[in-house]
Structure 1
Amino acid sequence: MIKFLEIKHDNEENNLKYKNFAKNLYNEAFPIEERWDFDAVFENKLNNNCKFYSFLDGDTPIGIAIIWTLEYFNFIEYLAIDKKFRGKNYGSKILTQILDLLKDKFVVIEVEPSDLNEIAKKRIDWYLRFGFILADYDYNMPCFDYGKKNSVLRMKIMTTKKIETKEEHDKITNYLYENIYKPRLAQI
């Protein structure tokens, strides 16, 4: 079984051992336009409902995730496996454990639209295998694009429950904006 280790900015032991791994993987796995400042995300001074995890096989770090426990749903903001461990079923094992951990509420993730590139299509197909349902609607995810304030990315959400209406979809994306993105944008 994969071990979940919450790494915190105020825990020196975990910082020394796992923070550099987490930062390198975060910067390698996600395009710059989808990344917020690592230290701000890691320190998470804005909200205690967010946890930064490193996943371990024994003592070897193999992946990371940032998971939010929100009022109406759970949100997996980032999930990545180190490239030297990809294709070895770690991602599937970790996502299965995450979904078991978060079974109290439905889960939301963000994905790039499948028409963007083949990697985006494969990522959506992978989440579909775990029961996620792709919402019918695009939305503009706010981001900090290093110098271009108020930049947005066209994204979609996937959830573990069917989104029935545009209003329901917009309620979720507006909640993400108000509770996660707006406070981050205010720090810029």
Structure 2
Amino acid sequence: MALEFKKVNEVNMEGIKKIYNDSFPIEEMVPFNKLVSISNDIDYLFYGLYDDSTLVGMSYLIIKEDMLYVLYLAISNSYQNKGYGKMAINEILKKYSSYRISLNIEEVNLESFNYNQRLKRKNFYQFFGFVSQDYLISNDEGVTFETMVINGDVTHQEIRGIFDELKDHKIDLN
């Protein structure tokens, strides 16, 4: 069983969109059409994750100089707990081993309604060697995230820059 990353296209777009919509709260989502329109083969990488011909997940990766930022990584509800998340992380770690690889998770806070889910997610990334940075960051909707990284450190300013750059893309979504 090998996981293949295939660029978003007309054939797989609806399946990827369903995984995206099912996986992330609205206050953490960049409009799907915007993600598609700014994706490219250089620094905004939007993929469907496939096991043979079966779409099992999606990822959105952003490259900035020597950093890879995992904006989104999700496995379809039907395929969770089957090892696909681990395979996806292993593929990212292998392919981008020379990069600082960073991502954000929702802040692990005892008062959170989904505390156990957040803690499980943090433990999942720590298993691979990701470490928490010494800061939290919030998006425009007020969601607070913890930044985790492997292969070095990532500053608050670097993550803020990615958030701001995504926001600054002026794209007609109609």
TM-score normalised by structure 1 residue count = 0.81
> What does residue 149 of structure 2 align with?
159
Letter matched to residue 6 of structure 1: K
Corresponding residue number in structure 2 for 1:2: 3
Q: Work out the CA distance in 1 between the residues paired with 2:23 and 2:67.
A: 25
- Give structure 1 stretches of 5+ with no counterpart: 8-13, 143-150
Partner of residue 166, structure 2 = 180
Q: Retained in 1: the 8 A contact 2:39–2:45?
A: no
Hey, which bits of structure 1, 4+ residues long, moved more than 4 A? Answer: 45-48
Q: Percent same amino acid among aligned pairs?
A: 22
Which residue is equivalent to 2:117?
119
CA RMSD for the aligned pairs? 2.1
Number of residues paired by the alignment?
Answer: 167
* Structure 2 runs not aligned, ≥5 long: none
Residue among 148, 153, 156 paired with 1:170: 156
Secondary structure at the counterpart of residue 74 of structure 1: strand
Shift of 1:48: 4.8
SS at match of 2:10: helix
Query: In the alignment, what sits opposite 2:56?
Result: 62
Q: What is the one-letter code of the residue matched to 1:172? A: E
Instruction: Give the aligned partner of residue 147 of structure 1.
Output: none
SS of corresponding position for 2:91: helix
- Does structure 1 conserve the Cα–Cα contact (< 8 Å) formed by 2:100 and 2:150? yes
Residue 98 of structure 1 corresponds to 92
How many Å separate the matches in 1 of 2:138 and 2:40?
Answer: 22
| Length-normalised TM-score, structure 2 | 0.87
Q: Which has the larger share of helix?
A: 1
Q: Which moved more, 1:79-88 or 1:35-44?
A: 35-44
